[in-house]
């Protein structure tokens, strides 16, 4: 599996190419667009979300709603390009376009201009922008369609925004996420949701941005995805890379990976049991569904820690890269909080990693080949689908 994106924040549009899926996989156009719309949700979003109405256009790899086995090409138009056509046109334009020389602390601006030998910060920030994640969500929606045919569901919710933390829940199942997008911050706890909205409003009035924590859960996984035999095949390593590659994410953990570092071993691991009805099973899931770099069959739990966004309505101190004189950083139109959207992006990235793990383990040129290989594996190991909340 391979996922490639192209495009700039205010350019003509974004492109995503997904390689490695089998032929015969049925796709739902509305399901792809729903995930794109979910990425645009969340209290604290800026004016850009009032402009964009993201929709997917498929330009390759799909015919009559089914994959053909080749690369799948997805495109998303940037409606805001109409306001930026002169500044972001792929081709030379008449007249001079002013360069941007004020890098933002915490953004790719300064280091990007140094690395690539550029004089205009916009040449960096347009690609570094989190707008790129719209393309990832489109690709992740295709990966989720593949996983659903194998009985796997991927969901996300927000655990924390700034200082407000939702109560911990270890009993979550797929049905608990049915109304998560109805919350203005995609939080499953109503009291915490209201407190998060109030926190966003309070800090936005103070010209601040906010970070937080989201959680992605995958249900219905088979044991044995990934491997212990080499570092690059360990699934937790692939998941960590996928989550940390999302813009503004500074930490990732599987299960209770942060908390168990301070616990004794007897309180850190999941004891193993077996009976006729359930086969092998665990009554806790501190490992988050991964042991030794492989899925256990329990729900996969992955968390991401997002820093406050680097574009502030009251900019921080910076330096003009043309004059080297002190200056305030660039003030670009921005969101004050995108943790709810980051959770949707996290879903996409986790889904893509899991889809890749299924493809590596089971192969198959057609989706029916994949189903047959999965069924044979289930019979060999006596697979019983785990309870959704061990």
**Under the phi-then-psi rule, with left for phi > 0, alpha for psi from -120 to 50, and beta for the rest, what region is 64?**
left
pLDDT of res. 47: 58
Count CB-CB contacts under 10 A for residue 35: 22
Distance separating alpha carbons of residues 25 and 38, to the nearest angstrom: 23
Question: What domains can be seen in the chain, in order of their start residue?
Answer: 2-381 (3.60.150.10)
Token readout for 96 is 């001079």
Taking the model in full, what pTM does it have? Answer: 0.95
Token readout for 290 is 């991964």
Distance separating alpha carbons of residues 27 and 149, to the nearest angstrom: 11
Token readout for 377 is 């594996």
Give CA separation, 51 vs 60, 62, 78, 223, in Å: 27, 29, 9, 44
Give pLDDT < 70 ranges for the chain: 45-52, 333, 386-390
H or E stretch covering 372 = helix 367-381
pLDDT of res. 390: 39
Handedness of CA 130, 240, 302, 27 (dihedral sign): positive
Distance separating alpha carbons of residues 269 and 12, to the nearest angstrom: 50
pLDDT of res. 384: 79
pLDDT of res. 119: 97
DSSP-based helix, strand, coil % in the chain, nearest 5 = 35, 20, 45
Contact call for residues 329 and 316 (beta carbons, < 8 A): yes
Phi and psi (nearest 5°) for 362? -110, -15
DSSP state of 23: B
């Amino acid at each position: 599996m391979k996922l490639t994106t192209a495009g700039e924040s205010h350019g003509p549009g974004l492109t995503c190419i997904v390689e490695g899926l089998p032929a015969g996989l049925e796709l739902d156009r509305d399901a792809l667009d729903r995930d794109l719309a979910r990425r645009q949700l969340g209290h604290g979003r800026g004016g850009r979300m009032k402009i964009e109405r993201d929709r997917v256009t498929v330009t390759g790899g799909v015919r009559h709603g089914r994959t053909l086995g080749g690369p799948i090409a997805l495109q998303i138009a940037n409606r805001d390009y109409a306001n930026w056509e002169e500044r972001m046109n792929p081709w030379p334009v008449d007249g001079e376009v002013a360069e941007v020389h004020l890098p933002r602390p915490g953004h790719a601006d300064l280091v990007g201009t140094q690395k690539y030998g550029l004089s205009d910060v916009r040449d960096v920030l347009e690609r570094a922008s989190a707008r790129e994640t719209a393309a990832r969500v489109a690709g992740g929606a295709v990966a989720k369609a593949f996983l659903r045919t194998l009985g796997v569901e991927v969901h996300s919710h927000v655990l924390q925004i700034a200082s407000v933390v939702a109560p911990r829940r270890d009993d979550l199942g797929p049905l608990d996420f049915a109304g998560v997008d109805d919350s203005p911050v995609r939080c499953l706890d109503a009291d915490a949701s209201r407190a998060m909205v109030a926190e966003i409003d309070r800090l936005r009035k103070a010209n601040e941005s906010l970070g937080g924590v989201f959680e992605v859960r995958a249900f219905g996984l088979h044991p044995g995805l990934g491997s212990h035999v080499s570092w690059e095949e360990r699934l937790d390593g692939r998941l960590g890379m996928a989550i940390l590659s999302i813009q503004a994410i500074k930490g990732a953990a599987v299960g209770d990976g942060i908390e168990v570092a301070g616990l004794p071993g007897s309180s850190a691991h999941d004891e193993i049991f077996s009976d006729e009805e359930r086969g092998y099973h665990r009554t806790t899931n501190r490992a988050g569904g991964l042991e030794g770099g492989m899925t256990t069959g329990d729900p996969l739990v992955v968390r991401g820690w997002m820093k406050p966004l680097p574009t502030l309505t009251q900019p921080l101190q910076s330096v003009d890269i043309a004059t080297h004189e002190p200056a305030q950083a660039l003030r670009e139109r921005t969101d004050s909080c995108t943790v709810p959207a980051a959770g949707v992006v996290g879903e996409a990235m986790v889904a893509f990693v899991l889809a890749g793990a299924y493809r590596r383990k089971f192969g198959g040129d057609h989706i029916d080949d994949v189903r047959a290989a999965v069924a044979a594996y289930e019979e060999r190991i006596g697979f019983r689908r785990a309870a959704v909340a061990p």
